[in-house]
């Protein structure tokens, strides 16, 4: 272990069965009940409790395929409650920030921490991992596992080991394992568990005799580069404890923003399609403004249900370039609706609609057109600012364009959503 010179040391903290665990914090009755959380529109299982995993249910199994098994074993299903998960995720991240200032929020339930400058505050890195684990459990009710290693790839692998093997008790640091121990754990773990090695690459690696993580670690960098390219060579180095990937603390502005949803039922009329396109555009524009960008190009698409081949199929899309890049919901909605009008054909049963914003640049470097009208620009910015502020303060869709309509009969299905326990005065949990 490096004491004098600082060797990279990363931790990956990941909440176990995140969505399921969030639901259980607020519904203690669901503890030990087999539970799945369903994707948008209640389509398929996106989170499974350990009891459900034990029944052999795979990730993304459609709910209608599970109904028999569910009846047999009493599996409960909840619609996803992203408002709740988002709030719980923020709590976890804010607790982690107390442990290290260098943190990368990698996804809603996983964060990387750089810990080499802080482990000396604890008796050992494992002790630090244990403090992280018990504090998050105590403060939020969520169970986490902590994986540690000399690179992000090793930390991610350690997290997998900590989750899978009870002997680690939820905390695994590959840096403190002896060489034989390390070899043991890496050689019983399939190569497909390595971060960034997907199913395709796994097959190609296996064909070359690289079946376990240990095999990949021992493979020659030259060979990896020749056969798989520089990314796999880097993965090999990372597995050998040579840190090549730094924390990504600044989220780069998105170059493309997509907002789309399937409908809760088939939609036939242009009016309803217009409402949904306007709603998606409003959400896309909010995202655009939060990253202080403008878009120069929009795309609108609608789609019939391709899971019903017996019905007539039609999936058009249209791209519309704007004279001047902008972030004004009203302007972009206008453009999107005129595009929709051009691709809409009556007589189809539509299942999905969406918009894509592209040609994205920073608002501060906005190109103005030859016929720029400064006073209008200023008014638009003021209007958007007021609208966003009102919607943030008084709830989504407090102020919206009339094009979005008010019935939302097409809106997605979410029939069994738990309350917004942490973010809504009227939905707080009850205590007697």
Partner 1 sequence: MNPPVLRPIQAISELGLSQAPERLAFDAPPSELRLLVHGLSAGFPSPAGDYVEDALDLNQYLIQNKPATFLFTVRGDSMMGASIEDGDKVVVDRALKPKHQDIIVAVVNGDYTIKRLYKYRGTIELRPENSNYPAITFTDGAELQVWGVVVGVVRKYINKAAPHAQQRHTTHS
Residues of this chain that bind partner 1 (CB under 8 A): 28-29, 31, 90-92, 94-95, 138-141, 292, 362-364, 381, 385, 394, 421-422, 425, 428-432
Of the two residues 64 and 139, which places its CB atom closer to partner 1 in the complex?
A: 139
Tell me the two tokens of residue 176: 């403190």
Of the two residues 285 and 356, which places its CB atom closer to partner 1 in the complex?
A: 285
Of the two residues 255 and 338, which places its CB atom closer to partner 1 in the complex?
A: 255
Closest separation in Å from C-beta 336 to partner 1:
23
Closest separation in Å from C-beta 331 to partner 1:
17
The CA radius of gyration of the chain, in Å to the nearest whole number, is 25
Residue 265 contacts residue 410 (beta carbons within 8 Å): yes
Q: Which helix (H) or strand (E) holds 320?
A: strand 317-326
Residue 142 contacts by C-beta under 8 Å, 6 or more apart in sequence?
A: 15, 16, 18, 21, 22, 25, 88, 92, 136
Residue 25 contacts by C-beta under 8 Å, 6 or more apart in sequence?
A: 88, 140, 141, 142
Closest separation in Å from C-beta 71 to partner 1:
22
Of the two residues 26 and 314, which places its CB atom closer to partner 1 in the complex?
A: 26
Give CA–CA dist 134/127, Å, rounded.
Answer: 11
Closest separation in Å from C-beta 430 to partner 1:
5
Task: Tell me how long the chain is.
Answer: 432
Q: How many CA atoms lie within 13 A of 98 on its CB side?
A: 9
Of the two residues 84 and 210, which places its CB atom closer to partner 1 in the complex?
A: 84
Closest separation in Å from C-beta 404 to partner 1:
21
Closest separation in Å from C-beta 422 to partner 1:
6
Residue 225 contacts residue 214 (beta carbons within 8 Å): no
Of the two residues 164 and 363, which places its CB atom closer to partner 1 in the complex?
A: 363
Give CA–CA dist 174/241, Å, rounded.
Answer: 10
């Amino acid at each position: 272990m490096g004491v004098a010179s600082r060797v990279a040391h990363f931790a990956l903290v990941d909440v176990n069965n995140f969505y399921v665990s969030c639901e259980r914090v607020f519904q203690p009755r669901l503890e030990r009940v087999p539970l799945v959380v369903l994707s948008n529109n209640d389509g398929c299982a996106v989170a499974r409790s350990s009891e459900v995993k034990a029944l052999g249910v795979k990730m993304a199994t459609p709910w209608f395929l599970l109904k028999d098994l569910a009846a047999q074993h009493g599996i409960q299903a909840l619609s996803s409650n992203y408002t709740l998960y988002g709030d719980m995720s923020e709590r976890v991240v804010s607790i982690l920030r107390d442990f290290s200032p260098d943190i990368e929020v990698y996804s809603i339930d996983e964060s990387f921490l750089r810990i080499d400058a802080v482990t000396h505050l604890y008796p050992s890195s494992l002790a630090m991992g244990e403090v992280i684990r018990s504090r998050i459990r105590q403060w939020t009710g969520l169970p986490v596992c902590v994986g540690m290693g000399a690179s992000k790839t090793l930390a991610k692998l350690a997290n997998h080991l900590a989750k899978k093997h009870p002997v680690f008790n939820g905390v695994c640091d590959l840096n403190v394992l002896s060489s034989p121990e390390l070899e043991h754990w890496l050689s019983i773990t399939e190569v497909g568990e390595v971060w960034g090695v997907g199913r395709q690459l796994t097959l190609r690696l296996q064909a070359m005799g690289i079946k376990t993580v240990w095999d990949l670690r021992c493979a020659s960098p030259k060979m990896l580069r020749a056969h798989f390219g520089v990314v796999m060579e880097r993965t090999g180095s990372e597995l050998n404890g040579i840190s090549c990937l730094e924390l990504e603390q600044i989220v780069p502005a998105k170059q493309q923003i997509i907002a789309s949803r399937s409908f809760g039922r088939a939609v036939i009329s242009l009016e309803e399609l217009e409402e949904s396109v306007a709603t998606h555009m409003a959400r896309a524009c909010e995202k655009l403004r939060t990253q202080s960008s403008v878009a120069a190009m929009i795309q609108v698409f609608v789609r019939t249900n391709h899971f019903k081949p017996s019905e007539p199929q039609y999936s058009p899309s249209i791209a519309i370039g704007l004279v001047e890049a902008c972030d004004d919901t009203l302007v972009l909605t206008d453009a999107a609706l005129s595009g929709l009008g051009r691709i809409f054909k009556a007589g189809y049963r539509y299942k999905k609609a969406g918009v894509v914003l592209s040609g994205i640049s920073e608002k501060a470097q906005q190109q103005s057109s030859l016929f720029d009208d400064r006073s209008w620009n200023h008014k638009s910015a003021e209007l958007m600012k007021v609208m966003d502020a009102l919607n943030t303060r008084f709830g989504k869709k407090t102020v919206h364009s009339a094009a979005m309509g008010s019935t939302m009969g097409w809106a997605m299905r979410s029939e069994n959503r738990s309350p917004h326990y942490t973010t809504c005065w009227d939905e707080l949990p009850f205590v007697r």
